[in-house]
Structure formats: C-alpha cells, structure tokens
Amino acid sequence: MAAGRDAARHAGTLYRKALPWLRHPVREVEAEAEHLLEIEREGKGAETPVIAILGVILFLLPIVLLILGLAFAAYFLAG
C-alpha cells in the first residue's frame, strides 16, 4: 500500500512541476469568484443583486439544459 501512495505523491509532484501554467488561469478565476462572493456577502456594492442572480442562473442552467436534452432525446427516440 505504501508503494502506491508514494507513487501517487511522486506523480502529483511531477505534474505540479511540469504544468504550473495550466493552474494559473484556474487560480485567477477562483480568486475572482472569491472576490465576488465577498462583495455579495457584504451587500454594500451596487452589483450585489446582479452577482446573486447570475449565481442562481449559472447554478440552474446546467440542470435545465440536462433536462431539456433528455426530453429531446426521449422525443426523438419515441417518434
């Protein structure tokens, strides 16, 4: 078991060293999302309602698209 754990840790280290440019954009997006969440929690900014509504839309959009895709698939398979 220890050999597998050591191999996984070593592979993670190699990926961290080889692909730092891949994580950089993700960290920027995470930082921006955390900043927007702080603004929303404070509620002082004029953009707070927009942030909250956009968050709800981005949460519900994939669910709606999945249900719509399943409905269309069922329609085309049935007819």
CB 71 within 8 A of CB 65: no
Task: Identify residue 5 by its one-letter amino acid code.
Answer: R
* pLDDT, one tens digit for every residue, the chain (79 residues): 567 777 777 666 766 666 666 666 667 878 888 888 888 788 877 777 888 888 899 899 999 999 999 999 999 999 7
CB 68 within 8 A of CB 56: no
Per-residue pLDDT tens digits for 44-61:
777 778 888 888 998 999
Helices (H) and strands (E) in the chain, counts: 3, 0
CA 42 vs CA 17, 25, 61: distances in Å: 37, 26, 26
